[in-house]
A and B are shown apart, each in its own frame.
Chain A
Amino acid sequence: MPQTQAYEAPRTLADAVRLLSTDGHARPLAGGTDLLVQSRATQKLPSTFVDLKRIPELVGIEVGPDGLRLGAATSAAVICEHAEARRLWPGLVEAIGLLGSTQIQGRASVGGNLCNGSPAADTTCSLIVNRARGVIAGAKGERTVEVERFTTGPGRTVLEPGDLLVALVVPRPAARTADAYLRLIPRSEMDIAAAGAAASVTLDERGVCTAARVAIGAVAPTALLVPAAADALIGSRLDDAALRRAADAASAAARPIDDKRGTAVYRKTVVGVLTRRAAGIAAERARARP
Chain B
Amino acid sequence: MSTATKTFEHVGTRPIRHDGLDKVTGRANYGADYALPGMLHGYVVRSPHAHARIVSIDTSAAEAMAGVKAVVTGSDIPKTNAKLVMGEAALDLGAMGDNALAHDKALYEGHAVAAVAATSPEIASAAAEAIRVVYEPLQPVMNVDQALAPDALILHDGMVTKGRPKPDAPTRTNVALRMELTRGDLDKGFAGADVVIERTFTTPMVHQGYIEPHACVARWGEDGQVVVWTSTQGHFVVRDCCAGILGIDAARIKVIPSEIGGGFGGKIPVYLEPVAIALARKAHRPVKLVMSREDVFRASGPTSGTKIRVKLGAKKDGSFVAASASLYYEAGAYAGSPAGAGAMCAIAAYDIPNFLVEAYDIVVNRPKVAAYRAPGAPAAAFAVESVVDEVARRLGKDPIELRLQNAVREGDQAAYGPEFGPIGLREVLEAARCHPHWKAPLVPQPGRKVGRGVACGFWFNAGLNSSATVSLSADGSANVVTGNPDIGGTRVAQALMVSEELGIPVERVRPIVADTDSIGYNDVTGGSRVCYATGMAVIEAARDAQAQLRARAAKIWDVPVEQVGWERGRAIALNGASGREPLTVSELAAKLMHTGGPIIGSATVNAPMAGPAFGAHICDLEVDEDTGVSRVVRYTVVQDVGKAVHPSYVEGQMQGGASQGIGWALNEEYVYDAEGHLQNPGFLDYRMPVASDLPMIDTVIIEVANPLHPYGVRGVGEVPIVPPLAAVANAMHDATRVRFTALPLSPPRVLAALKQRG
Which A residues form the contact surface with B (CB < 8 A)?
1-2, 43, 184, 186-192, 194, 259-263, 265-266, 269-270, 273-274
Which parts of B548-595 form the interface with A (CB within 8 Å)? Answer: none
Contact A266 B751 (CB under 8 A): yes
For chain B, give the interface size range: 20 to 34
Contact A187 B690 (CB under 8 A): yes
Contact B690 A189 (CB under 8 A): yes
Given contacts A188-B690, A260-B685, 15 further A-B contacts (CB under 8 A): A184-B627, A184-B747, A186-B687, A186-B746, A186-B747, A187-B687, A188-B631, A189-B692, A190-B684, A191-B687, A192-B685, A259-B679, A263-B752, A265-B748, A266-B751
For A1, list chain B residues within 8 Å (CB). Answer: 122-123, 125-126
Among A2, A192, A261, A269, the residue within 8 A (CB) of B751 is A269
Among B628, B687, B692, B748, the most chain A Cβ lie within 10 Å of the Cβ of B748
For B746, list chain A residues within 8 Å (CB). Answer: 186
Q: Is B667 interfacial (CB-CB < 8 Å)?
A: yes
| CB<8 Å pairs between A and B, sample of 9 | A2-B122, A43-B125, A187-B687, A188-B631, A188-B692, A189-B692, A260-B680, A273-B626, A273-B627
Contact A187 B671 (CB under 8 A): no
Contact B690 A186 (CB under 8 A): no
Known contacts A2-B122, A260-B685; is-contact A186 B667 (Cβ 8 Å): yes
Which B residues form the contact surface with A (CB < 8 A)?
122-123, 125-126, 626-629, 631, 666-667, 671, 679-680, 684-685, 687, 689-690, 692-693, 746-748, 751-752
Q: Is the interface of A mostly helix, strand, loop or mixed?
A: loop
For A2, list chain B residues within 8 Å (CB). Answer: 122
Tell me, in angstroms, the Cα distance from A260 to B668 when the chains sit together. 11
For A259, list chain B residues within 8 Å (CB). Answer: 679
| Residue in B closest to A3 when the chains form the complex, CB atoms | B122
Known contacts A186-B667, A270-B627, A273-B626; is-contact A191 B684 (Cβ 8 Å): yes
Contact B684 A187 (CB under 8 A): no
Tell me, in angstroms, the Cα distance from A194 to B667 when the chains sit together. 13
Contact A188 B693 (CB under 8 A): yes
**8 closest residue pairs by CB, A with B:** A266-B748, A1-B126, A188-B692, A260-B679, A273-B626, A260-B671, A260-B680, A263-B748
B679 to chain A minimum Cβ distance, whole angstroms, is 4
For B748, list chain A residues within 8 Å (CB). Answer: 262-263, 265-266
For B679, list chain A residues within 8 Å (CB). Answer: 259-260
Tell me, in angstroms, the Cα distance from A187 to B746 when the chains sit together. 10
Contact A266 B689 (CB under 8 A): no
A183 to chain B minimum Cβ distance, whole angstroms, is 11
For A192, list chain B residues within 8 Å (CB). Answer: 684-685
For B687, list chain A residues within 8 Å (CB). Answer: 186-187, 191
Among B631, B667, B687, B689, the most chain A Cβ lie within 10 Å of the Cβ of B687
For B671, list chain A residues within 8 Å (CB). Answer: 260
A97 to chain B minimum Cβ distance, whole angstroms, is 14
Contact A184 B626 (CB under 8 A): no
A25 to chain B minimum Cβ distance, whole angstroms, is 17
For A194, list chain B residues within 8 Å (CB). Answer: 747
| Residue in B closest to A261 when the chains form the complex, CB atoms | B685
For A43, list chain B residues within 8 Å (CB). Answer: 125
For B692, list chain A residues within 8 Å (CB). Answer: 187-189
For A260, list chain B residues within 8 Å (CB). Answer: 671, 679-680, 685
Tell me, in angstroms, the Cα distance from A273 to B631 when the chains sit together. 18
Contact B667 A187 (CB under 8 A): yes
| Residue in B closest to A270 when the chains form the complex, CB atoms | B627
Contact B752 A266 (CB under 8 A): yes
Contact B752 A184 (CB under 8 A): no
A115 to chain B minimum Cβ distance, whole angstroms, is 20
A49 to chain B minimum Cβ distance, whole angstroms, is 17
A266 to chain B minimum Cβ distance, whole angstroms, is 4
| Residue in A closest to B692 when the chains form the complex, CB atoms | A188
| Residue in B closest to A273 when the chains form the complex, CB atoms | B626
| Residue in A closest to B678 when the chains form the complex, CB atoms | A260
B66 to chain A minimum Cβ distance, whole angstroms, is 11
Among A186, A190, A260, A270, the most chain B Cβ lie within 10 Å of the Cβ of A186
For A262, list chain B residues within 8 Å (CB). Answer: 747-748
For A188, list chain B residues within 8 Å (CB). Answer: 631, 690, 692-693
For B684, list chain A residues within 8 Å (CB). Answer: 190-192
A2 to chain B minimum Cβ distance, whole angstroms, is 6
For A274, list chain B residues within 8 Å (CB). Answer: 627
A76 to chain B minimum Cβ distance, whole angstroms, is 17
Among B123, B666, B751, the residue within 8 A (CB) of A270 is B751
